[in-house]
Amino acid sequence: MSITDEQFAAAKPIWDAQLAHPFVRGIADGSLEIERFKRWVLQDYLYLKDFARLFAWAVAKADRLESMSWYATVLNLTLNTEMALHRAYA
């Protein structure tokens, strides 16, 4: 068994529990109340703001241009893709 298979097998109970969570099931089958979804979007948006700040800091602190570029890419995707999706629901 490969290390990937071993790790997948070890994580499978957690994966299955996440998929069975009422919030995730509600999104999947359309039964989640819109207000609950909006609250989650707001909370995730607040998290993403700090996530973006972390990567902005990493750009400034990186020693190598390759690292700076990678952190800047993650920052850009967070600010202009992920957060844009959240703003659409706000």
Quick one: pLDDT at residue 48?
97
- Spatial separation of the C-alpha atoms in residues 44 and 41, rounded to whole Å: 5
pLDDT tens, residue order, the chain (90 aa): 899 999 999 999 999 999 999 999 999 999 999 999 999 999 999 999 999 999 999 999 999 999 999 999 999 999 999 999 999 876
Closest among 79, 87, 88, 71 to 48, alpha carbons compared: 79
Closest by alpha carbon to 23, among 43, 47, 9, 46? 43
What pLDDT is attached to residue 90? 66
